[in-house]
């Protein structure tokens, strides 16, 4: 199964490439991004000005002249700088919000589009709960990373630079050395401890995804859980994973407490040493009391964001890991792709041909072994056989959900490998055995077959599928919600919705994969008449288990072990007294007994 997390935990990441990719999301609003950066610098200038004015306010009290004028102006300047800092900070946030949320929207659309483009094999192997949680974290990580850059790293860098310039220009170099030496020790300690404990975060994310996957899986299969009274099993599996997550989370919290204590100790020692030197110089008349207060204010202004730097660094590392999940997914190539200069499928009479087709889902287990047959334009060919014979695989290959291992499939003498997937699938309609509906209204699910269809056309398709009367008998009628995966409808009702949806599409080729398996006898007979009527204008391939539903087919193919062992009309196969006749007799006996 695909899992980007496996690659992450083995260190296979390229963080610099990922950071460069983030910058591409700024292109749409580069003007806003630049303006937000200017607001940031203005806010930091104002913030650095506050301790300078505070120094002058305190020193002014030593003067016997202008005591009533000078403090007032300085106090007004103090308030103005505070207000300017707040104004530019909020303006930066407001301006950059559009940039950040547009990037999230752009990436979310990109990821969903890419997921739809990935091939069927990926979607059969993935775990919905785990990948949804990974994608949620990954998409959010891009916004978080932009926040770090614009609201954390760049502001801290700008503020450190301004403070360093002021300290070097006005005071002994010892203050700069102590201040930035403390910062370097703090950063080194934070990086070392954070790198040590980040494995706990990886384990927490992995176990969180596993637990979420278990929960999703058990809820999706709610009825199966109830059928076998296995609620306790599902809860045990879920709690087992959560128990492992809890143990790792406790280790993570304990190591974070150690990190926080070490950071506070380094900051406390650094501030104490700086204040000791400042107080000594005040005593020696080399600095004023205002200078001491200013240095203390600078230290507080530096160490307050520096105190958050530990959290920011940890979140930054986690964000890089989360972001790598989504970017690695975006680099995963679809298994089935259009060839260069693929042409649109040109459908004329819509004849289908399978020519010596071999196929295997896995290299060591071949499903189809040299299958050859033709469905002439406008005719109906049925495929029957025991489970695992390869019947439904034919439909998946015709849709080009997979590529054949050998041989070829053609529509009107055009190899489907050489035409665009979109044009191929546009020409084919299907009623699958396992009908899955969207959690929306019945009208939406039927109209999904043709979004441009009118209300009248939708109702005509529903009438042909023998479901219009049922729909209109419901309290909410056509606006009835069908529930997740259509669980509020019976199997037969879902199949009739699927039949109406396929009819509404008006395709050139129709595929029925056990299309009436969930219907009662009377409804099945009515549907058979509908399908027979619809099939007169299309080329039709029917995968069937009930042989009574395909006796009118122009040709019947009997499959066993990935090969066609018999072919002919119903009457011809009955006369041969082979596998088809044996299957027919068994089904008739079962019908008589029931």
Q: Report residue 128's pLDDT band, with 50, 70 and 90 as the boundaries.
A: low
Lowest-confidence segment of 1-10, 20-29, 193-202, 256-265 by average pLDDT: 1-10
Q: DSSP labels for 472-515?
A: HHSTTGGG-B--GGGTTS-HHHHHHHHHHHHHHH--SEEEEEST
**Cβ proximity of 211 and 238 under 8 Å:** yes
Q: Report residue 2's pLDDT band, with 50, 70 and 90 as the boundaries.
A: very low
Lowest-confidence segment of 67-71, 127-131, 209-213, 226-230 by average pLDDT: 67-71
Q: Report residue 129's pLDDT band, with 50, 70 and 90 as the boundaries.
A: low
State mean pLDDT over 8-23: 66
Q: What share of the chain in percent tops pLDDT 70? A: 90
Rg (CA), the chain: 35
Say yes or no to pLDDT of 421 above 80: yes
Tokens representing residue 245 in the block: 């997550």
Q: Report residue 3's pLDDT band, with 50, 70 and 90 as the boundaries.
A: very low
How high is the mean pLDDT of the chain? 82
Tens of pLDDT along 392-417?
889 889 989 899 999 999 999 999 99
Q: What is the pLDDT of residue 1?
A: 36
**Cβ proximity of 178 and 270 under 8 Å:** yes
Q: What is the pLDDT of residue 5?
A: 41
- Which domains does the chain carry? 4-331 (1.20.1560.10), 352-388+402-593 (3.40.50.300)
Burial pattern 389-428, b for ≥16 Cβ within 10 A else e, equals bbbbbbbbbbbbbbebeebebbbbebebbebbbebbbebb
Tens of pLDDT along 308-354?
666 677 677 777 777 777 787 788 888 888 888 889 999 888 899 99
Write phi, then psi, for 346 (nearest 5 degrees).
Answer: -100, 105
Q: What is the pLDDT of residue 59?
A: 74
- 291 vs 278: CA distance, rounded Å: 8
Give the residue, 348 or 14, on which the prediction is more confident.
348
Tens of pLDDT along 451-488?
888 999 999 989 888 888 889 998 989 999 988 777 78
| Residue with the two structure tokens 């128990």 | 243
Tens of pLDDT along 478-531?
999 988 777 788 877 888 888 889 889 888 999 988 766 656 666 667 667 777
- 460 vs 501: CA distance, rounded Å: 11
Tokens representing residue 150 in the block: 């614009």
State mean pLDDT over 116-133: 69
- 203 vs 244: CA distance, rounded Å: 9
Q: Which helix (H) or strand (E) holds 295?
A: helix 289-331
SS (H, E, C) 378-391: CCEEEEEECCCCCH
- 172 vs 278: CA distance, rounded Å: 10
Tens of pLDDT along 57-113?
777 776 554 444 556 777 788 888 889 888 988 888 888 888 888 888 888 788 888
Q: Report residue 6's pLDDT band, with 50, 70 and 90 as the boundaries.
A: very low
Q: What is the pLDDT of residue 534?
A: 73
What sign results for the dihedral spanned by CA atoms 51, 57, 60, 62? negative
- 313 vs 510: CA distance, rounded Å: 57
């Amino acid at each position: 199964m695909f899992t980007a997390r496996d690659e992450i935990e083995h260190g296979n990441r390229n963080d610099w490439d990922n950071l460069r990719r983030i910058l591409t999301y700024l292109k749409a609003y580069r003007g806003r991004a630049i303006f937000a950066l200017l607001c940031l610098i203005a806010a930091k200038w104002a913030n650095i000005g506050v301790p300078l004015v505070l120094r002058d306010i305190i020193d002014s009290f030593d003067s016997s002249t202008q005591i009533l004028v000078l403090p007032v102006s300085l106090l007004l300047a103090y308030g103005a700088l505070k207000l300017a800092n707040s104004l530019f900070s909020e303006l930066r946030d407001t301006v950059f919000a559009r940039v950040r949320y547009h990037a999230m929207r752009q990436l979310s659309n990109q990821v969903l589009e890419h997921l739809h483009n990935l091939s069927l094999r990926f979607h059969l192997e993935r775990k919905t709960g785990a990948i949804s949680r990974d994608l949620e974290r990954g998409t959010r990580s891009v916004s978080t990373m932009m926040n770090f850059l614009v609201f954390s790293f760049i502001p801290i860098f700008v503020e450190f630079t301004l403070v360093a310039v002021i300290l070097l220009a006005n005071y002994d170099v010892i203050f700069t050395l102590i201040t930035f030496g403390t910062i370097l020790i703090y950063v080194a300690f934070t990086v070392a401890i954070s790198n040590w404990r980040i494995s706990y975060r990886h384990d927490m994310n992995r176990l969180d995804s596993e637990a979420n996957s278990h929960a999703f899986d058990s809820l999706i299969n709610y009825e199966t859980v109830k059928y076998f009274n296995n609620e306790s099993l599902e809860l045990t599996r879920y709690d087992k994973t959560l128990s492992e997550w809890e143990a790792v989370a406790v280790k993570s919290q304990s190591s974070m407490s150690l990190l926080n204590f070490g950071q506070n100790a380094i900051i406390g020692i650094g501030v104490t040493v700086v204040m000791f030197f400042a107080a000594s110089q005040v005593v020696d008349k080399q600095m004023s009391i205002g200078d001491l207060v200013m240095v203390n204010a600078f230290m507080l202004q530096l160490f307050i964001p520096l105190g958050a730097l530990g959290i920011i660094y940890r979140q930054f590392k986690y964000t890089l890991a989360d972001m790598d999940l989504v970017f690695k997914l975006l680099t995963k190539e679809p298994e089935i792709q259009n060839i260069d200069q693929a042409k649109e499928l040109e459908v004329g009479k819509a004849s289908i041909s399978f020519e010596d087709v071999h196929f295997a889902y896995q290299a060591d287990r071949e499903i189809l072994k040299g299958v050859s047959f033709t469905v002439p334009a406008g005719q109906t060919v049925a495929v029957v056989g025991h489970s695992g014979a390869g019947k439904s695989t034919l439909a998946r290959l015709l849709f080009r959900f997979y590529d054949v291992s050998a041989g070829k499939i053609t529509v009107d003498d055009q190899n489907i490998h050489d035409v665009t997937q979109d044009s191929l699938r546009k020409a084919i309609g299907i009623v699958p055995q396992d009908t899955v509906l969207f959690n929306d209204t019945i009208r939406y699910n039927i109209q999904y077959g043709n979004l441009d269809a009118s209300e009248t056309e939708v109702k005509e398709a529903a009438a042909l599928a023998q479901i219009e009367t049922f729909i209109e008998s419901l309290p909410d009628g056509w606006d009835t919600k069908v529930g997740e995966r259509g669980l509020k409808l019976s199997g037969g009702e879902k199949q009739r919705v699927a039949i109406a949806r396929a009819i509404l599409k008006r395709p050139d080729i129709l595929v029925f994969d056990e299309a009436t398996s969930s219907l009662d006898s009377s409804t099945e007979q009515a549907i058979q008449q509908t399908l027979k009527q619809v099939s007169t204008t299309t080329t039709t391939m029917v995968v069937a288990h009930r042989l009574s539903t395909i006796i009118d087919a122009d040709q019947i193919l009997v499959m066993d072990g990935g090969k066609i062992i018999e072919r002919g009309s119903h009457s011809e196969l009955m006369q041969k007294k082979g596998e088809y006749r044996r299957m027919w007799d068994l089904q008739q006996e079962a019908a008589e007994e029931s």
